[in-house]
Each structure stands twice: as C-alpha cells, then as structure tokens.
C-alpha cells in the first residue's frame, strides 16, 4: 500500500530531451509538491499544488512544467534537459489541518542527464 508513488525510479537521458515524471498519492491529501535534491542532499521545493491549483512556484526555469490532472496526481514535465537537471526529484503530499501538517514523500526519481 504505497502512500506516495513515483515513476520512473530511474531516468537516464541525453541533454536536450524532454521527459516526464509521474506522481500519485492515495492518502486523500489536497496538497502535493515537487522537490529537487542535489548531490549534496540539499532539498529544495519547486512547486506546490492545492486541489489542482498551483500555489507555489519557486523560481524554477520555464522548462519545468507541473501538471495536476486531479488532486491525487501531480506530474512533472521537463523540456530541453540540461546537465544541471541531474538530481533526485521527490514528490510529496500533505493535508492542511489546524495543527501540524506532515508531508509524506515518495521514493524519489533519480534523473541523470548525459
């Protein structure tokens, strides 16, 4: 019973290609996120969606375009891949509440651009 799942787990591609990463959560959460974790383990938020609406877009190049077909899915499409895009991309979800709001992370997608 995977709570947050991502596909693919590994992605090796050439510079200039276009690729997509898919994310699904079965927790019934309203909010989903994409994070990028670089080689030094620094985890930085890229996008946040609440009920299919974009609420955070953190100075990410236009080549990155998130798409949320429904609140259980948040996909990430990347155009014209560059060497610097190599990283681990994590999807996460959370449910707004009156108290603490816990994020649940997926297993990550390891992207290597050659």
Partner 1 sequence: QKEVEQDPGPLSVPEGAIVSLNCTYSNSAFQYFMWYRQYSRKGPELLMYTYSSGNKEDGRFTAQVDKSSKYISLFIRDSQPSDSATYLCAMTRDSSASKIIFGSGTRLSIRP
Least separation in angstroms between residue 93's CB and partner 1 is 9
Of residues 89, 73, 61, the one with CA closest to residue 32:
73
User: In what helix (H) or strand (E) does residue 92 lie, and over which residues does it extend?
Assistant: strand 87-94
What does the angle CA 111 – CA 38 – CA 66 come to, to the nearest 5 degrees? 60
Task: Give the x/- contact pattern for partner 1 in 33-72, rule: CB under 8 A.
Answer: x------xxxxxx--x-x----xx----------------
Residue 102 lies near partner 1 (rule: CB under 8 A): yes
Residues of this chain that bind partner 1 (CB under 8 A): 4, 31, 33, 40-45, 48, 50, 55-56, 90, 92, 94, 96-108
């Amino acid at each position: 019973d995977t709570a947050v799942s991502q596909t693919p787990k590994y992605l090796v591609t050439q510079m200039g290609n276009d690729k997509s990463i898919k994310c699904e959560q079965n927790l019934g959460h309203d909010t989903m996120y994409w994070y990028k974790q670089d080689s030094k383990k620094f985890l930085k938020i890229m996008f946040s969606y609440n009920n299919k609406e974009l609420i955070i877009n953190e100075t990410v190049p236009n080549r990155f375009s998130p798409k949320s077909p429904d609140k259980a899915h948040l996909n990430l499409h990347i155009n014209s891949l560059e060497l610097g895009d190599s990283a681990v991309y994590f999807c996460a979800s959370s449910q707004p509440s009156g108290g603490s709001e816990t994020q649940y992370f997926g297993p990550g997608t390891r992207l290597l651009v050659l």
